[in-house]
Amino acid sequence: MFKKENITIPNILSLSRFVFLPVLFFFAIKEMRVAFLIGYAILGSTDFFDGLIARMLNQKTKLGKALDSFADIFFYVSSAYFIARLYPAYLKPNNIMLIAFFVLFGLSFVVSSIRCKKPIMMHTFLLKLNGVLVYFLLILSYFFDTTYIISMILVIYYVGFTEEIAIFIKYGEVDPDTSSILTLMKNERLSNQNHIKDSKKREDSALDDKQI
């Protein structure tokens, strides 16, 4: 049953990316470029505002994280179609790189499904950065040739998905908002140091008890 506390502004904004995405497909198919540009700019901005409002109003929920992740998947995968449909000349030189992108993208879900028993999309720093870059890519493509920007974004995605896969392999399921594998490694190191300190304290305490 849908819980009342899950009806929040951030969740509604995330859901809007599902609900209104078909409108963008309609504009793209009809090559209504101005209408698409305006619609894409508005709908894509919800990815920024849902997280911002969730933090400001303390409305973070598990459902919200799941909605945001799946909305991002559909929205940004659809963005690849939009570029191919509206600006094929910019995408064609990057076709091989794009195939590699989808291989890594799919592999990340395979690995997370095996290690975590469910598909997960992380919100690491690199993947968040690329979400922003893809958003502006579609807008900038209306004004000038973005072939090299597409290449740059794909390379960053390679690094981001490789990091995501490494996180799943090494740590299994973690907080999807984890910024990077370096953060997890740092936390693991601190946890081990604290464990060693606690063990030493217990040993010292036991030794003191024996001496008494």
* 119 lies in the same domain as 155: yes
Task: Tell whether 7 and 75 lie within a shared domain.
Answer: yes
Instruction: Note the Cα 186 to chain centre separation in Å.
Output: 21
Q: Are the C-beta atoms of 115 and 169 separated by less than 8 Å?
A: yes
81 & 101 share domain: no
Q: Does residue 81 share a domain with residue 12?
A: yes
| Per-residue pLDDT, 1 | 42
Do 170 and 98 belong to one domain? yes
Q: What residues have CB less than 8 Å from 80, skipping those under 6 apart? A: 98
Q: What are phi and psi of 178, to 5 degrees?
A: -55, 130
Q: Are 76 and 17 in contact (CB under 8 A)?
A: no
Residues 167 and 111 in one domain: yes
Q: What is the DSSP string of 175-207?
A: -TT---HHHHHHHHHHHHHHHHHHHHHHHHHHH
Same domain, 162 and 101: yes
Share of the chain above pLDDT 70, in %: 89
Q: What is the arithmetic mean of pLDDT over 72-76?
A: 83
Q: Answer yes or no: do 72 and 106 share one domain.
A: no
Mean pLDDT, the chain, as a whole number? Answer: 86
Instruction: Give the chain's domain count.
Output: 3
Domain of 18, in residue numbers: 1-85
Do 141 and 209 share a structural domain?
Answer: no
Q: Is the pLDDT of residue 207 over 70?
A: no
pLDDT in tens, 77-118: 899 899 999 999 999 999 999 899 989 999 999 999 999 888
Shared domain check, 69 and 140: no
Residues 40 and 14 placed together within one structural domain of the fold: yes
Of the three residues 85, 110, 133, the one that is the final residue of a domain is 85
* Closest C-alpha to 67, from 6, 133, 130, 138: 6
Residues 48 and 97 placed together within one structural domain of the fold: no
Residues in the chain: 212
Name the residue with tokens 């600006």. Answer: 87
Q: Tell me: the pLDDT tens digits for 123-172?
A: 899 998 998 899 999 999 999 999 999 999 999 999 999 999 999 999 99
Higher pLDDT, 17 or 37: 37
